[in-house]
Structure 1
Amino acid sequence: MLAEVDIKRLRAGAESEKLEEIDSLGVFWIPGYDDDQLSGRLRFSPTEGINLSLVGEFDNRPRTGEPLRQIVGWIGSKEVTLDDCFSRGSYRRYPGVIESRFHANRIFIGHQFDRRELEFQSVTIELAYLGSWINRSGIDDHRMHLPGSSERPYEICFTPLDAETYPFSRGELTLGFSHLYDGDPISGINLKQFPFFKISYHRLMEFDDIRKDVGRIQSLMTLCVDSPVSVDRFILRAPDIRLKLLSGEETKQEQEVEFRAPVLRHNPPSQREVRRYDQMFLSFDEVGGLRGIVNWIENSERFQRALDSLMSTKHAGRMYAENRFLNVAYAAEAFHRITRGGSYMPEGEFSELLNRYIEITPEGHRGWLVDRLGYANDYSLPKRLRKLAMEAKSVTRPLVGDEGRWANTISGVRNKLTHLPGNESPFSGGDLNSLSESVYSVMRVCMLLECGIPQEILASKRESSSASWGADKIKSAVERVRAQMKSSRGSAEDRHNVDSP
């Protein structure tokens, strides 16, 4: 039953629907005001977002810029829900009609929701590079040699692959396969296969929680494939959302509800290059298959903020080199703080010492003192970075060299960019990008280790192109920025960060 729905969908030629643009006329209204319907035009683009233009104005219209939870309606024969909307104002053309415009942050195709109803029990996703990552195929093709003939015909055999399932605390994760077969033996046959993940939950789940689980799988694949991985299709289902016939009668089959939202870095399937095994950091089997993904889903939640900051450097279409560097530095510090902690002295002893300082400090300066010393007991950034680099050294030593020297350099650059005066960065964008890649590489290993990927599997990637391609650039960048910081008229703190062992 799992694969049946998806096979039917693909047989209908839905491969071309992956994040396709929408430009459709329809009728729309605010939930609860069914008698106040307006016709209009709905447009969706992965890069431009979701925009609705209506003929006329809602009687219960929001003011310009005012948020509006939802707008529902029909486009063709499909129900739609525009969620997290806001008004972009109304315009009157003379002579002519009033046009009201809205922008939405996300859209659900297949059902009309009330905000309180955004709960589902399963999600099916198709991801960029998933087929290459799992490296499994039901298609077998080869040339045959016929004795006495110069012709070498092809023989193609297709055996549908079986689904695999693995449980986790909130449900189960399935790797499934669907396929598309069309054409005919006269004009030609087209056969394609599509792997997908399906998460089935034990109970109804809030959409935002489902989206976080999907995002964790997306992040893991990005770390492993070593390229930004986008979600091509995002299909939701719930037991109480049923497929309706044209007569309005509900069937027993669950209705597919497709979720779409604009993406920061859209890479259409037609423009993607194939990712080969040797271009990836880890394959599906090397992370432990479904079991490894489940471990990642459950354990990475703990350091979600650090992971999001790290992933921002991969999924953003454009980002200043300074921002990229600061994002990965924040990710490293936050990850170590969350997963390792670290303090100079026991917390009770530090609190007692801080209270003594507060007692002898004039009341008007006590707030300042607490701000300055509140985190004084925490590990310093160089120490956190060095400990992370030591954990990852079996893979990243060729990139970072001496871990202590590298950690002090990264910390010094971070301080220079955030704490010191001046409007321009003293470092080149190329050097900052190289240093960012070194921090990213260390964090990738540490996060994968934290979620149960064996050390020996990661260590085997030490010489791979994915793990070592930027070593020379990184080493050169470290030397240049150290020289720049030593020669600049920085603070004593800068000199300490660069020169201390």
Structure 2
Amino acid sequence: MSSDPLLLSESHEWSGLWWLPGAPDERVPGVLRYDRDGGATLSLIGTFENRIMTEDSPWLTAVHEGSRTWEVMHGVAESREITLLDCVPTSTKRTMGARVDSPDRQAVRAQTVLVGVHTADEDDSLFEALQVSVENLGHWGAEKVFSGFIGAPEGARFDGSGSISAKPLESTSVTVDGTEFTLDHRRTAPSFDARRGETTGRIRDAAFVRIAPPGGCSLSSAIRSAKSIQDLISLATHRAAGVIWLRLKLTGEGPGAERHPAERYVEVLYSPAAVGERDAKAIDHHRVFFTCDDIPFEEIILRWFEVRDRLHAATDLILALRYAPAQYLESRLLMAAGAAEALHRALGIEERPMPTAEFKKMRAAMLALAPEDQRERLKSAIRNDVNLRERLNALAERPDQQAVSELVPDLDRWSRRTVKARNDLAHEGRTPDHSMEELVAVVEATTGIVILNLLHEIGLPADRQQKIVREHPRLRSIAEWAKAELVTPES
């Protein structure tokens, strides 16, 4: 069993020697520190030349405004190779000419840290697989790992006896376009923590996903793959799903493989859309849209990557509200309406209002009546496209209709008021005809319709869609908003 992965939520520190790839003999001592808020900072006792200088003549050197940055830095610390990527010096203190001779100091900020390998490029395909752990992954996987026995003979009260058992480690795999996805587990052996006042027995089980592309992967492709799993769990749980850890498995031909014949893992410290907390309380089951009990792992992975590739613009806009919720209602309105438009276009259900040939004749006749100097501008304005209201109504027809009607009872008023709000904001910069409460209802109802469409596209059954609308706290509140603010008053 390999060592435990480095958690993105914890602080880490390494003291070592550091150098630029083109000058491996010019090594500078320093300390690399990582924490989730500040990222990775290298504090050097010494400096790398970051000034931009030109030699105008043998006796004159000009120093220009700005500073050098380095794509890659290498280091060794605690018997491990370390690579720093996208490095920017944040402060440099030189002591030349000072009264007391002391070493120079320099601080360097790195975007990404690889612990366990030296590489020159984030696109080098050095790795045969990646492992990623995401918040609530175990709950979403719906695997019953632990079971317990409580001693209560003949219906009596608990007598103090009992046991906790863990089933043998198992994994579930599926292949998508040659890439193998595996839902797997890391588990600690049973241990006992004896204290002066009590003793605690412990087994820790952590779910993770292993992804093995057919031709290996680079750091950049591994981060994209990790994000795809993060997005899936975020959609399933309707909340930001933080990455807890990410590690890469080196191929047998990787750097230093001849010196390390056993399996080697590289730890990745970076800044995902959200950082996960391993020890935070798990999500309540009522707040989850679906788990592998609803759609088995082998099926949902296949469906998710097909849907994500086809509808990536809409999924990115909706999930952006989970990872970094917009602070202003107006921006949320634009994102929700934009997600609906992007989704409708990607679904390929768009029908032109008029046959193309007939539209061209009509446009030509209209342009012939316009002043000649205005025709080019009018030509781009006269379009044969579906409008936003038609797109919203078409989206509302796709998911289970019982779920849709419970979420948004008056679809006609919802679509009209959504279009009015979006157009007013886009054209006038404000929404004077909407109260704050109605605007919230418009944003939430539009977001809810897009979510139901995404759940419908991945194949969530109709009865599950209905149950989500009735029981999920967020969708229940959306239905209440829509019923209060988006229902046409009786005459």
Name the SS for the 2:262 alignment partner.
strand
Quickly say closer, same or farther: Cα 1:136–1:405, change in 2 above 3 A: same
Using the TM superposition, give the Cα deviation of residue 130 of structure 1 relative to its aligned residue in structure 2, in angstroms.
1.3
Please state if 1:39 is matched with 2:45.
no
Using the TM superposition, give the Cα deviation of residue 333 of structure 1 relative to its aligned residue in structure 2, in angstroms.
0.8
Structural mapping, 1:351-390, within 5 Å: 365=374, 368-373=377-382, 376-390=383-397
Q: More deviation in 354-363 or 175-184?
A: 354-363
Structural mapping, 1:451-470, within 5 Å: 451-466=458-473, 467-470=475-478
Structural mapping, 1:176-325, within 5 Å: 176-184=184-192, 187-240=199-252, 250-270=259-279, 272-316=280-324, 319-325=327-333
Identity percentage over the alignment?
Answer: 22
Residue pair 1:31, 1:70 contacting (<8 A) in 2 also: yes
Residue pair 1:28, 1:71 contacting (<8 A) in 2 also: yes
CA distance in 1, matches of 2:252, 2:200: 42
CA distance in 2, matches of 1:473, 1:412: 18
Please state if 1:125 is matched with 2:132.
yes
What does the per-residue CA deviation read over 1:150-197, in whole Å, with 9 as the maximum and x for residues that have no partner? Answer: 833122222223111111113111111221125348654311111111
Quickly say closer, same or farther: Cα 1:463–1:211, change in 2 above 3 A: same
For 1:110, the aligned partner's letter is G
Query: Could you tell me which of 433, 450, 453 is aligned with 1:443?
Result: 450
Structure number with greater Rg is: 2
Using the TM superposition, give the Cα deviation of residue 434 of structure 1 relative to its aligned residue in structure 2, in angstroms.
4.2
Quickly say closer, same or farther: Cα 1:421–1:258, change in 2 above 3 A: same
Aligned length: 464
User: What's 1:83 paired with?
Assistant: 85
Report the RMSD for the aligned CA atoms in angstroms: 3.3
CA distance in 2, matches of 1:27, 1:173: 38
For 2:288, the aligned partner's letter is M
User: What's 1:398 paired with?
Assistant: 406
Quickly say closer, same or farther: Cα 1:170–1:89, change in 2 above 3 A: farther
What does the per-residue CA deviation read over 1:378-400, in whole Å, with 9 as the maximum and x for residues that have no partner? Answer: 21111111111222343232222
Quickly say closer, same or farther: Cα 1:463–1:28, change in 2 above 3 A: same
Using the TM superposition, give the Cα deviation of residue 60 of structure 1 relative to its aligned residue in structure 2, in angstroms.
6.5
Q: More deviation in 42-51 or 128-137?
A: 42-51
Using the TM superposition, give the Cα deviation of residue 67 of structure 1 relative to its aligned residue in structure 2, in angstroms.
4.9
Q: More deviation in 311-320 or 342-351?
A: 342-351
CA distance in 2, matches of 1:401, 1:131: 36
CA distance in 2, matches of 1:88, 1:371: 48
CA distance in 2, matches of 1:212, 1:426: 42
Quickly say closer, same or farther: Cα 1:61–1:306, change in 2 above 3 A: farther
Structure 1 unmatched ranges of 5 or more = 1-6, 484-501
Q: More deviation in 440-449 or 234-243?
A: 234-243
Q: More deviation in 76-85 or 161-170?
A: 76-85
Quickly say closer, same or farther: Cα 1:347–1:426, change in 2 above 3 A: same
Structural mapping, 1:113-152, within 5 Å: 113-115=119-121, 117-119=123-125, 120-146=127-153, 151-152=159-160
Residue pair 1:39, 1:54 contacting (<8 A) in 2 also: yes
Using the TM superposition, give the Cα deviation of residue 249 of structure 1 relative to its aligned residue in structure 2, in angstroms.
5.1
TM-score (norm 2): 0.83
By percentage of residues, which structure has more helix? Answer: 1
Quickly say closer, same or farther: Cα 1:151–1:298, change in 2 above 3 A: same
Residue pair 2:242, 2:277 contacting (<8 A) in 1 also: no
What does the per-residue CA deviation read over 1:214-253, in whole Å, with 9 as the maximum and x for residues that have no partner? Answer: 3222222112112221111111224146596xxx952333
CA distance in 2, matches of 1:421, 1:45: 40
Quickly say closer, same or farther: Cα 1:451–1:40, change in 2 above 3 A: same
Residue pair 1:242, 1:255 contacting (<8 A) in 2 also: no
Quickly say closer, same or farther: Cα 1:117–1:228, change in 2 above 3 A: closer
Residue pair 2:242, 2:273 contacting (<8 A) in 1 also: no
Using the TM superposition, give the Cα deviation of residue 412 of structure 1 relative to its aligned residue in structure 2, in angstroms.
1.5
Using the TM superposition, give the Cα deviation of residue 129 of structure 1 relative to its aligned residue in structure 2, in angstroms.
0.8
Name the SS for the 1:86 alignment partner.
strand
Using the TM superposition, give the Cα deviation of residue 329 of structure 1 relative to its aligned residue in structure 2, in angstroms.
1.6
Quickly say closer, same or farther: Cα 1:354–1:59, change in 2 above 3 A: farther
TM-score (norm 1): 0.81
Structure 2 unmatched ranges of 5 or more = 53-64
User: What's 2:111 paired with?
Assistant: 105
What does the per-residue CA deviation read over 1:369-417, in whole Å, with 9 as the maximum and x for residues that have no partner? Answer: 35434xx222111111111122234323222222222112112211222
Quickly say closer, same or farther: Cα 1:472–1:58, change in 2 above 3 A: same
What does the per-residue CA deviation read over 1:337-372, in whole Å, with 9 as the maximum and x for residues that have no partner? Answer: 122234223456546665777788777656533543
CA distance in 2, matches of 1:207, 1:457: 37
Using the TM superposition, give the Cα deviation of residue 454 of structure 1 relative to its aligned residue in structure 2, in angstroms.
3.7
Name the SS for the 1:123 alignment partner.
strand
CA distance in 1, matches of 2:170, 2:238: 27
Name the SS for the 2:301 alignment partner.
helix
What does the per-residue CA deviation read over 1:447-466, in whole Å, with 9 as the maximum and x for residues that have no partner? Answer: 23223334454244332224
Quickly say closer, same or farther: Cα 1:254–1:364, change in 2 above 3 A: farther
